[in-house]
């Protein structure tokens, strides 16, 4: 499949709009889910997903097939998430300095289902408390189905490091899940 994906990127680099549309159809959902699970804000996730594909389009002509296309796309998504988290942190600190309170928290996708609301909020809380590298490795594996080698490429670490990150993330997530009280 990688050869076909390299050809797709090459076609995008040559300005083929059908190839770009095909790439978007293939990766838009997984990228949106990945970004959303980092930021828990639907609108921002949609905006960043568009930015991911804009960057893919702009960089396609210079793409060097050193690694996989999927890992390259998720690396772009991860870097945009990290930048957005830093931007939000700066904004949060500014709000605190100015004494401004947030009017209402953002709600995640699927949050409207009252049967799942507490479980989703509990999981969101636990995921948000994981270190960024552990959260990224776990989300790429569990939600996007990336292989350990692809995750290693996205995170710029070794495969054993990915195995360790995922193991620690799962262990810590289980503990956080137990430690987070149920809301009634």
Report the greatest alpha carbon distance in the chain. 56
Please give the residue range of the domain that contains residue 53: 1-106
> Of 81, 106, 131, which residue sits at a domain end?
106
Tens digit of each residue's pLDDT (9 = 90 or more) over 110-168: 444 444 566 667 777 788 888 999 999 988 888 788 899 999 999 999 999 999 999 99
DSSP state of 130: S
pTM of the predicted protein model:
0.67
Tell me, yes or no, whether 148 and 96 share the same domain: no
Q: Are 154 and 136 in contact (CB under 8 A)?
A: yes
Mean pLDDT of the chain: 83
Q: Please provide residue 166's backbone torsions phi and psi, each rounded to the nearest 5 degrees.
A: -70, -40
> Among the three residues 106, 127, 149, which one is the final residue of a domain in this structure?
106
Residues 142 and 180 in one domain: yes
The tens digit of pLDDT for each residue in 160-184 reads 999 999 999 989 988 887 776 665 4
Domain boundary (50, 79, 106) is at 106
């Amino acid at each position: 499949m990688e050869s076909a994906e390299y050809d797709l990127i090459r076609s995008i680099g040559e300005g083929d709009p059908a190839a770009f549309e095909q790439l978007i159809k293939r990766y838009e959902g997984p990228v949106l889910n990945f970004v959303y699970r980092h930021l828990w804000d639907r609108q921002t996730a949609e905006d960043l997903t568009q930015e991911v594909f804009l960057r893919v389009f702009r960089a396609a002509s210079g793409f060097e097939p050193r690694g996989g296309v999927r890992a390259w796309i998720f690396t772009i998504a991860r870097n945009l998430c990290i930048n957005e988290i830093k931007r939000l942190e700066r904004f949060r600190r500014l709000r605190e300095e100015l004494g401004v309170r947030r009017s209402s928290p953002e709600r995640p996708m699927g949050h409207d289902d009252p049967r799942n609301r507490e479980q989703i909020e509990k999981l969101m809380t636990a995921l948000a408390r994981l270190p960024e590298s552990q959260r990224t490795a776990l989300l790429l594996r569990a939600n996007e189905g990336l292989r350990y080698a692809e995750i290693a490429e996205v995170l710029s670490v070794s495969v054993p490091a990915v195995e360790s990150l995922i193991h620690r993330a799962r262990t810590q997530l289980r503990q956080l899940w137990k430690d987070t009280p149920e809301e009634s």
